[in-house]
């Protein structure tokens, strides 16, 4: 099963991805991590992406899709792929569908975590990540046992620069004007399920798990 999680910054997408990938034996593939890993490993897609990454430019859609196809080809014993952060645009979604079809693959299910914009802003104000492995914490809804320290690996927690101020507004604007169009795209394929992401982590998890059964 290949699953896509769609959600704005602060929707809880990363937290739910950790749960789902573990429970359903899926390979969790966050686009940023995938890009950095491919470059570090010197894969063909990584080599193609490196010049763009080093210049700070957007990596072409075809190159990003190539990385995802590489990930599907090497699932490491997992039952499928869980895509987090890709695709972001209709163009990327269409290329992904086309390239997957060439391999006899497809996107099986798309989960959209729907959260009101104001709630997203409030969540992001309390969101922190650990420096070692990027585990996600929130001082309001998911606080660590020891303030400022990750429960899992003991590393320092920090707040991303794009989780504050104008950076948040810009990223949410992009999501609600561009990425949101993916919901209709996958709904037309009868693959999309909208989940109310405004509840507790456990409430959302129960709904997501039911949608993927």
Residue-level pLDDT at 171? 85
Q: How many CB atoms are located within 10 Å of the residue 184 CB? A: 10
* Given the residues 99, 109, 117, 160, the one annotated as active site: 160
Average of per-residue pLDDT values in the chain: 91
Q: pTM of the full predicted structure?
A: 0.83
- Given a contact cutoff of 8 angstroms between Cβ atoms, the answer to whether 128 and 138 are in contact is yes
* Given the residues 88, 99, 109, 191, the one annotated as active site: 88
Position 78 pLDDT exceeds 90: yes
Which of the four pLDDT bands, split at 50, 70 and 90, describes residue 7? very high
Q: Is 50 a catalytic residue?
A: no
Q: Is 171 a catalytic residue?
A: yes
Position 72 pLDDT exceeds 90: no
Residues 52-65 as b or e (16 or more Cβ within 10 Å = b): ebeeeeebebebbb
Q: Is 170 a catalytic residue?
A: no
Contacts for 180 with CB less than 8 Å, ≥ 6 apart: none
């Amino acid at each position: 099963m290949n699953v896509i999680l769609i959600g704005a910054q602060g929707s809880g997408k990363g937290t739910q991805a950790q749960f789902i990938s573990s429970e359903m034996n899926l390979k969790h593939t966050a686009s940023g991590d995938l890009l950095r890993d491919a470059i570090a490993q010197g894969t063909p897609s990584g080599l193609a992406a490196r010049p763009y990454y080093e210049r700070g430019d957007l990596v072409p859609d075809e190159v990003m899709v190539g990385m995802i196809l590489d990930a599907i080809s090497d699932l490491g014993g997992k039952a499928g792929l869980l895509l987090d952060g890709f695709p972001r645009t209709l163009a990327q979604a269409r290329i992904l569908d086309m390239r997957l079809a060439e391999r006899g693959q497809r996107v099986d299910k798309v989960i959209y975590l729907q959260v009101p914009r104001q709630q997203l802003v409030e969540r992001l104000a309390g969101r922190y990540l650990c420096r070692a492995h990027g585990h996600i914490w929130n001082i309001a809804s998911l606080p660590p046992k020891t303030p400022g320290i990750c429960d899992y690996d003991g590393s320092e927690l920090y707040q991303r620069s794009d989780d504050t101020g104008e950076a948040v507004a810009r990223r949410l604007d992009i999501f609600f004007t561009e990425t949101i169009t993916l919901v209709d795209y996958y709904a037309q394929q009868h693959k999309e399920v909208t989940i109310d992401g405004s509840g507790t982590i456990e409430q959302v998890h129960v709904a997501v798990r039911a949608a993927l059964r």
